[in-house]
Amino acid sequence: MGKISGAEIFVKSLKAEGVEHIFGYPGGVIIPIGDQMYDDDEITFHLTRHEQGAVHAADGYARATGKVGVCLATSGPGATNLVTGIATAHMDSIPIVAITGQVKSSLIGNDAFQEADMSGITRPITKHNYLVKDVKDLAKTIKEAFHIARTGRPGPVLIDLPVDVQMDKAEFKYPKTVNLKGYKPTYKGHSGQIKKIIKAIKKSKRPVIYAGGGIIMSEAAKELTSFARKTNIPVTTTLMGLGGFPEDDSLSLGMLGMHGTAYANHAVQSADLIIAIGSRFDDRVTGRLDTFAKDAIIAHIDIDPSSVSKNVQVDVPVIGDAKNVLKEMNKLVEKKGFEAWHKQIKKWKKEVPLIYKDDNKLRPQYIVEQIQKTTKNEDVIIATEVGQNQMWAAQHYTYTKPRTWISSGGLGTMGYGFPAAIGAQVGKPGAIVFDIAGDGSIQMNIQELATAVTEKLPIKIVILNNGYLGMVRQWQELFYDKRYAWTVLDRKGATMCPDFVKLAESYGAKGLRITKKEDVAKAIKTAVKTKGPVIMDFVVEKEENVFPMVPAGESINNMLHGLA
């Protein structure tokens, strides 16, 4: 084979990595790549209506499928519009490769038109990034980028690609292997450390498994479930770990933390052994650090050594892949009763259950429950925006399978859910994908309705419309004497700004407005039967709050429950 252009090398390299979908938005300095892909039918380019929509879609695709998500943007503002989504993926350890066009190599550093230093801008929020200076390095760079994104603790990698490199020519030879000096993730846990955990379990009377997003990323849900059932140890998950352990199992404590179940928080605070797997002890989980699980021996299994003892001092660290370590532990564990411990947990579940006021008013928690009830025999993926809608979706839907929950955890990115749902729907075309949203968050990337409509993606958008930026308003109600500064979305003397039904129809989607509790199930069934995208505008109780809630700076067992 003779020499071919960098653009052709780029496309061939993506095919070698098994890429089937790219989400992006064009611009001047990536025209050579667009032209190369014009007649290509192996990779589908999904034209989003904003670059942030593209990167969130790539992220949602990665979470739903376990594959590396790919997004593409032009230089300057197109590239910088990816930054929020790259940071979102970085915080949640999501494997994406972001490709940005760049001005000619000779113009870099000269403040050329639409030039931005993407390598410098994204250095703190990528696992690694590249500026390709020679077309001869392009195939090798792409091979390395995908390897870094998907291995070890996954994360985003950026490739900045000058337009002249796309047009220059070189011979194409795609590397078969990657050998990066200094990058050798540890997949197998130390046998001695694993035995220490087994020994701690034998001595324990009140153990808890605390599982995070690493369970999902390492495809370890099956091994975790086996481990919990073999040992009879109760399991609580983080927001990112939802679906990693079946919540309909009697051993499930649900989610812990600021808006976790009261019984999960009580169990963690009372435990004498915490086995953390693929989690990072973030502040929303631990609450006040000096009071967190004071009487517990803490074991931590994680592939990223920098996460161990970062926030909470660990007694038994095990560096390795969660799936591999759990496989080894499952060979060694023996079942224990922990009768007194389970009796106490049952008591907490009875005394402080996850409840809300059940009356004839339209409450968001009821809507989430009805989504599950009306689709119980279907393959469902729940994506969310960020805020109250996210917490209600986490609390009141029962997650039993991995990769069915897609939400921005660490960064808490408003506007994430809808484009992420687009990526999930592309990756899982047979699934029913819901985006549970607030009337504030949904407007941040509402333009992606055009993408969903033109591509005939049957996403069901559930707007829990309370006329507020609800989570901030909740804090203002509880801690700032109801001084609702900047959180009121309804216009004075008017409502429906925007009118989401008319907005849906203007894009060519179906719009439904629901104001009564008795109409909820019917609306969801109608939406599911509709072939294209649907917006369901649920006009809910305006000042409904998310409970339980741990106030900032408090211990996680010091919760506000909301109901007497």
Q: What CA–CA distance (Å, rounded) separates 354 from 493?
A: 36
A 10 A CB-CB count for 47 gives: 15
pLDDT for 115 beyond 80: yes
In this prediction, residue 490 carries a pLDDT of 80
In this prediction, residue 494 carries a pLDDT of 59
Handedness of CA 448, 452, 453, 459 (dihedral sign): negative
pLDDT for 507 beyond 70: yes
pLDDT (mean) for 56-75: 98
Which CA distances in Å does 302 have to 111, 313, 325, 559? 43, 14, 9, 29
Q: Mutual orientation of helices 322-332 and 191-203 as an angle, nearest 10°?
A: 60
pTM: 0.97
Residue-wise pLDDT for 251-295, tens only, equals 999 999 999 999 999 999 999 999 999 999 999 999 999 999 999
User: Considering the chain, what is the average pLDDT of its residues?
Assistant: 96
In this prediction, residue 399 carries a pLDDT of 98
In this prediction, residue 1 carries a pLDDT of 65
pLDDT for 491 beyond 70: no
In this prediction, residue 178 carries a pLDDT of 96
For the chain, how many helices (H) and strands (E)?
A: 22, 20
DSSP string, 252-295: EEEE-STTS-HHHHHHHHH-SEEEEES----HHHHBSGGGTTTT
Residue-wise pLDDT for 517-530, tens only, equals 999 999 999 999 99
pLDDT for 103 beyond 80: yes
pLDDT for 389 beyond 90: yes
Handedness of CA 529, 530, 531, 532 (dihedral sign): negative
In this prediction, residue 495 carries a pLDDT of 63
Q: Report domain extents, the chain.
A: 4-170, 191-351, 364-539
In this prediction, residue 492 carries a pLDDT of 64
Residues 6+ away with beta carbon under 8 Å from 89:
55, 59, 62, 95, 96, 155, 156
Neighbouring-strand partners of residue 432: 380
Q: What CA–CA distance (Å, rounded) separates 476 from 474?
A: 5
In this prediction, residue 496 carries a pLDDT of 74
pLDDT for 77 beyond 60: yes
CA 421 to the chain's CA centroid: 11
Per DSSP, 495 falls in state -
Question: Do the domains at 191-351 and 364-539 have one common CATH topology?
Answer: yes
CATH 3.40.109.10 correct for 4-170: no
Per DSSP, 408 falls in state -
pLDDT for 364 beyond 60: yes
| CATH number for the domain formed by residue range(s) 364-539 | 3.40.50.970
Position 335 confidence tier, pLDDT thresholds 50, 70, 90? confident
* Choice between 60 and 552, residue whose per-residue pLDDT is larger: 60
- Helix/strand/coil (H, E, C) string of 428-466? CCCCEEEEEEECCHHHHHHHHHHHHHHCCCCCEEEEEEC
3-state secondary structure of 560: strand
Percent of the chain with pLDDT over 90: 96
Residues 6+ away with beta carbon under 8 Å from 82:
51, 52, 54, 55, 71, 73, 98, 100
Identify the CATH homologous superfamily for domain 191-351.
TPP-binding domain (3.40.50.1220)
pLDDT (mean) for 86-108: 97
Q: Mutual orientation of helices 388-396 and 364-374 as an angle, nearest 10°?
A: 50
pLDDT for 493 beyond 60: no
pLDDT for 167 beyond 60: yes
